[in-house]
Amino acid sequence: MDFITGKHLSRRTFLRGVGATVALPFLDAMTPAGRLWARDVADPTRLVCIEMVHGSAGSSGWGADQNLWSPATVGRDFDLSPSALSPLEPYRDQLTIISDTDVRGAEAVIPKEIGGDHFRSSATFLTQGHPKQTESSDVHVGVSLDQIHAQRFGQDTPIPSMQLCIENVDQAGGCAYGYACVYTDTISWASPTQPLPMIRDPRVAFDQLFGAGGTPEARAARRRSSASILDFITGEVAQLKRDLDPSDRRRMDQYLENIREIERRIQKVVERNASGEVRALPEAPAGVPDSFDEHVKLMFDLQALAFESDMTRVFSFKLGRDASGRVYPGSGIDKGFHPASHHGDNEQNIADFAEINRYHVGMVPYFLDRLKTTMEGDANLLDKTMILYGSPMGDPNVHNHKRCPLFVVGGANGQLDGNLHVRAAPETPMANVMLSLMHKLGHDDLETFADSTAPFALQAATDQ
């Protein structure tokens, strides 16, 4: 690795123009001459928490027998091919599957809560708490895992955390069974009473990351223009590149081209949606693609850019909304998501729902590829990231919260070995796993989390 002798850029260097603020990726020039990244730069683990609602086909009795979510074998010699996790095979060396944990906070505690599983489940995923049944503003559940991490390791970044989603989450007041809609609309809670809003529109997320217009009026004016935000920082880019060595200039060029490419894609979405053509999602903002694939990939690309520029280190990402009837053509199944989840214990219906599960998991490798090919110092971003994917529901046909799907992928700065499948004992709280994951993230002082009973051993029996 080459360094510029006597020259040093701050990791918090920004390129600024009218209506644009662009943070830089990590460059060799940001490491003092003669020093190494690993010894001298604090490097907290990035965290992405992904929720997909409605549980999994493999959480049903027949689905579990067919290994439609979890592999049959525990340890390291497992076969992913029958399961919805098969798209993760190229990343099995960084994959940890945790099977059969329960999310007890999502269960009904008193009779009047029975039937409200869809309307409290999302609030329990990262908090593992039990939501207070209310349709008013006196909501209460717990602090979510992502916010615990952001509160400790995200305060020195421009944005401590970001919350993204794919489905509409703008319903106010009560939803059903006496629950406020906010329990369904977000998975991130800064305090037991403070839910954090989620961003559905990639254009809004892009503006937040790159300071595109300081006021609503300025953003509206920029959107009416065909100019790129990079056009506002051309002079600063040219001046900076004169002081960089060739490898850093190439890195800068690639980073800026990635920003421009995402900006172009968002602009095309807006143009298409504003053209007057009939939309598949007529209620969605103009910046939201009708295509699930396109929407998810844009959001993943924005997360990768945010990590690369260290704008934030923490994301929560909600891929679905409970009781959604959305159809996913890419899955090959033409049933709506919620109707498909109520499979009636019919084997063909369960197999169909498993294909929807496989399709959703199949979105994740796109993100893993982006992180793996993005270098920061002497490692790639996937090695420095923990990605948690799961659901607070088990078998959606009966709305239970047992045998809930959960996996973790990424190197987490060397804290996760990967190539591992562990199966929990019956009635093990998912909170036990989350407590252990927080220890891996650097929260060693946490002794409990929500209803945890003990840390969960994230290792094969032969390694113990």
Closest CA to 46 of 258, 256, 252, 303: 303
Name 272's Cβ contacts closer than 8 Å, sequence gap at least 6: none
Query: How do residues 32-67 score in pLDDT, each as one tens digit?
Result: 644 454 444 568 999 999 999 999 999 999 999 999
In 147-204, beta strands by DSSP E: 162-165, 174-176, 179-180, 189-191, 194-195
458: phi > 0 → left, psi -120 to 50 → alpha, else beta; which? beta
What is the structure's pLDDT at 213?
A: 54
Q: Could you say which architecture CATH assigns to the domain 48-224+279-463?
A: 3-Layer(aba) Sandwich (3.40)
Kindly report the CA angle at 439 between 364 and 182, in degrees rounded to 5? 60
Looking at residue 218, what is its pLDDT?
63
Regions of the chain short of the pLDDT cut 50: 1-6, 33-35, 37-40
CA angle 153, 157, 161 (to 5 degrees): 70
| pTM for the model | 0.95
Question: Cβ distance 362 to 23 under 8 Å?
Answer: no
DSSP strand pairing (406-409 vs 420-423): unpaired
Do residues 142 and 189 lie in contact, with contact meaning Cβ atoms separated by under 8 Å? yes
pLDDT of residue 6: 39
**Distance between CA 395 and CA 399 in Å, rounded?**
6
Measure the CA–CA gap between 66 and 72, rounded to whole angstroms: 8
Q: In this predicted structure, what is the pLDDT of residue 460?
A: 77
Residues 90-127: pLDDT tens digits? 999 999 999 999 999 999 999 999 999 999 999 999 99
What per-residue confidence (pLDDT) applies to 10? Answer: 87
What pLDDT sits at residue 459? 87
Q: pLDDT at position 219, please?
A: 61
So what's the pLDDT on residue 103? Answer: 98
